[in-house]
């Protein structure tokens, strides 16, 4: 089928350009001297426009039409055509002029945000956020029409194809009903225990890095196809042949850098495990941001903060830094890794409160986009939600509604994926435990290859062959359900079996 072959060839080039983009991004975050920022932003713009041209190329629409329902194609090819159609509809439905307009507004709004946040001056940010919101609404409406979905679902579906507000509501309402009360219980229980002690630093950065590499190796990270470096914020970049993760070391805290490394290693294993023969095609990419996050949280949260993991890791920590006192004990390290606190800042939040931060943002962004909340009323709405959900009230907007970069850089519909990923991670861990009887033993022995293999077989190597729903049902026997996550929390934080 010639049309299909043309599509594949076309998208192979598209992904090579994406790969190049990811090298430039990695370089920007880890390596580039500051003075090159302007040149780099011009390179980004050039590359971005070449990539965009390829997706919206009218030829793609023609080929897709010719392919129709994909008769004569095999399962993977049909799925590939479906993914291309999704990408193409999402992208080509929006007039280029509008894309450029949003891009300019994003740059401007993010720039204003940086100083407005520093000065705690929401009023300065508000008009820019308002404009960005309007153009986002306009784009969401156009996409919604082309895709035959609701506008918010069009935004959500860009990051997590197939996800809808209806599905999100179902699990988030469940969690929002459960977590505040659960949080009280956990805090009560913690209050009855002695405070965990912090191991005493400083912790040499070279040793932190060596420890990080040790953890990555235990997870079978392939250094022949990947790297570990440092950047201001940890991330996982690159592509399957060259997966590059970063972390950020602080002399006073080695747990933070190593937990970040575990998180990014989860992303990296996913990327590296994607189906090799489809690497330059949409069907061979990650299933979506929720599934991606499920992989990082699987490694960081499900495994990395478990009792079994600490049993294996605590001796490594002691060895890495020559620690020996009580603060280095398995029990204390586990207590540190599972400490729960009401906090204002999402990125610092623990496993229990994190979903509340996400639910707050999800609800507010839907109200903003739906016109039920005005930008000027955002700070108050934020503070009230925070008090209601997390039980703590920000004293300023810097630690309130201005803390995140997402909205001010035009990213709406992304926040839910963090918590959807957490739910999936719990659901997957439960399914794995059903299939592999000695998971905890494997973890205690640091034998993560077994877990990695299960994830690779069940998730990674399937790329986008199935929808997220179908994948979850096949692998876990159930639709996305918050109960696995809730059970996981109860077991970990209240010792309930």
Q: Cβ of residue 272: shortest distance to a second copy, in angstroms?
A: 10
Q: How far is CA 463 from CA 235, 272, 274, in A?
A: 21, 11, 6
Q: Minimum CB separation from a second copy for residue 241, in Å?
A: 4
Which one, 222 or 440, has the nearer CB to a second copy? 222
Site string for a second copy, 23-42 (x = CB under 8 A): xx--x---xxxxxx-xxx-x
Nearer CB in complex with a second copy: 51/132: 51
293 flagged as catalytic: no
d(CA 18, CA 279): 12
Q: Does 19 engage in binding with a second copy (CB under 8 A)?
A: yes
Cα–Cα distance, 183 to 389 (Å, whole number): 10
**Under rule CB under 8 A, which residues in 36-75 are in contact with a second copy?**
36, 38-40, 42-43, 46-47, 50
Among residues 11, 8, 103, which one has the least CA distance to residue 54?
11
Taking CB under 8 A as the rule, does residue 396 contact a second copy? no
- Asked if 121 touches a second copy (CB under 8 A), the answer is no
Specify the length of the chain in residues.
Answer: 497
Which of 1, 3, 6, 17 is close enough to bind a second copy by CB under 8 A? 17
Closer CB to a second copy, 107 or 395, in the complex: 107
Q: Which one among 222, 440, 453, 481 touches a second copy, defined by CB under 8 A?
A: 222
Q: How much of the chain is helix, strand and coil, in % rounded to 5?
A: 70, 5, 25
Q: Which is nearer to a second copy, 47 or 197 (CB)?
A: 47
| 225 counts as binding a second copy under rule CB under 8 A | yes
Does residue 277 interact with a second copy by CB under 8 A?
no
| 222 contacts: CB under 8 Å, gap ≥ 6 | 243, 272
Contact string 168-207 vs a second copy (x = CB under 8 A): ----------------------------------------
223 is a site residue for a second copy (CB under 8 A) = yes
DSSP string, 283-334: GGS-S-HHHHHHHHHIIIIIITTSHHHHHHHHHHHHHHHT--SGGGSHHHHH
Q: Kindly indicate which of the ranges 212-220, 237-245, 459-467, 469-477 contains the residues binding a second copy, using the contact rule CB under 8 A.
A: 237-245
Q: How far is the CB of 22 from a second copy (least distance, A)?
A: 10
349 close to 391: Cβ distance less than 8 angstroms: no
Residue 227 as a binder of a second copy (CB under 8 A): the answer is yes
Nearer Cβ to a second copy, position 32 or 450? 32
Site for a second copy in 238-257 (CB under 8 A): 239, 241-242
Residues in CB range of 255: below 8 A, 6 or more apart = 333, 336, 337
Q: Is 126 helix (H, G, I), strand (E, B) or coil?
A: helix
CA angle 403, 406, 412 (to 5 degrees): 130
Shortest reach from residue 45's CB to a second copy, in Å: 8
H or E stretch at 393: none
DSSP letter string, 431-494 = HHHHH-TTHHHHHHTT-THHHHHHHHHHTGGGTTSS-HHHHHHHHHSS---THHHHHHHHHHHH
Catalytic annotation, pick one of 83, 209, 264, 293: 264
In the complex, the smallest distance separating the C-beta of residue 268 from a second copy, rounded to whole angstroms, is 12
For binding to a second copy (CB under 8 A), which residues are involved? Answer: 13, 16-17, 19-20, 23-24, 27, 31-36, 38-40, 42-43, 46-47, 50, 222-227, 239, 241-242
Which residues participate in catalysis according to the annotation?
A: 264
């Amino acid at each position: 089928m010639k049309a299909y072959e043309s599509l594949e060839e076309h998208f192979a080039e598209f992904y090579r350009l994406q790969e190049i983009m990811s090298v430039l991004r990695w370089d920007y975050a880890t390596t580039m001297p500051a003075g090159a920022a302007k040149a780099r932003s011009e390179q980004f713009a050039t590359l971005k426009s070449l990539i965009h041209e390829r997706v919206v190329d009218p030829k793609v629409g023609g080929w897709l039409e010719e392919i129709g329902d994909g008769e004569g194609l095999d399962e993977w090819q049909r799925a590939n055509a479906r993914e291309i159609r999704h990408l193409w509809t999402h992208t080509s439905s929006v007039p280029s002029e509008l894309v450029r307009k949003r891009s300019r507004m994003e740059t401007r709004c993010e720039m204003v945000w940086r100083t407005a946040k520093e000065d705690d001056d929401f009023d300065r940010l508000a008009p820019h956020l308002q404009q960005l919101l309007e153009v986002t609404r306009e784009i969401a409406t156009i996409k919604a029409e082309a895709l035959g979905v609701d506008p918010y679902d069009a935004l959500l579906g860009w990051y997590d194809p197939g996800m809808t507000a209806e599905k999100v509501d179902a699990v988030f309402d469940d969690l929002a009903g459960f977590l505040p009360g659960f949080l009280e219980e956990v805090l009560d229980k913690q209050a009855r225990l002695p405070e965990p002690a912090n191991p005493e630093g400083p912790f040499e950065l070279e040793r932190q890095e060596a420890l990080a590499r040790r953890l990555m190796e235990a997870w079978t990270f392939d250094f022949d196809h990947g790297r570990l470096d440092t950047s201001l914020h940890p991330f996982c970049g690159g592509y399957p042949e060259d997966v590059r993760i970063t972390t950020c070391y602080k002399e006073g805290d080695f747990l933070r850098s190593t937990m970040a490394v575990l998180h990014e290693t989860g992303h990296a294993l996913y990327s590296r495990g994607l189906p090799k023969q489809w690497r330059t095609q949409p069907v061979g990419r990650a299933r979506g941001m929720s599934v991606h996050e499920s992989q990082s949280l699987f490694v960081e949260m499900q495994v990395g903060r478990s009792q079994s993991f600490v049993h294996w890791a605590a001796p490594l920590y002691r060895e890495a830094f020559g620690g020996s006192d009580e603060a280095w004990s398995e029990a204390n390290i586990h207590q540190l890794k599972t400490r729960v606190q009401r906090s204002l800042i999402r990125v610092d939040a623990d496993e229990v409160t994190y979903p509340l931060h996400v639910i707050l943002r999800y609800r507010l962004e839907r109200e903003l986009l739906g016109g039920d909340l005005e930008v000027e009323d955002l700070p108050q709405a934020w503070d009230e939600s925070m008090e209601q959900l997390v039980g703590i009230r920000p004293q300023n907007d810097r630690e309130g509604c201005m803390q995140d970069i997402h909205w001010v850089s035009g990213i709406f519909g992304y926040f839910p994926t963090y918590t959807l990923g957490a739910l999936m991670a719990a659901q997957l861990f439960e399914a794995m435990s059903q299939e592999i009887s000695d998971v905890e033993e494997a973890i205690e022995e640091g034998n993560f290859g077994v877990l990695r293999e299960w994830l690779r077989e069940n998730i990674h190597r399937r790329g986008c062959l199935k929808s997220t729903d179908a994948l979850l049902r096949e692998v876990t026997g159930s639709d996305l359900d918050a109960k696995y996550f809730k059970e996981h929390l109860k077991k970990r934080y209240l010792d309930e079996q």
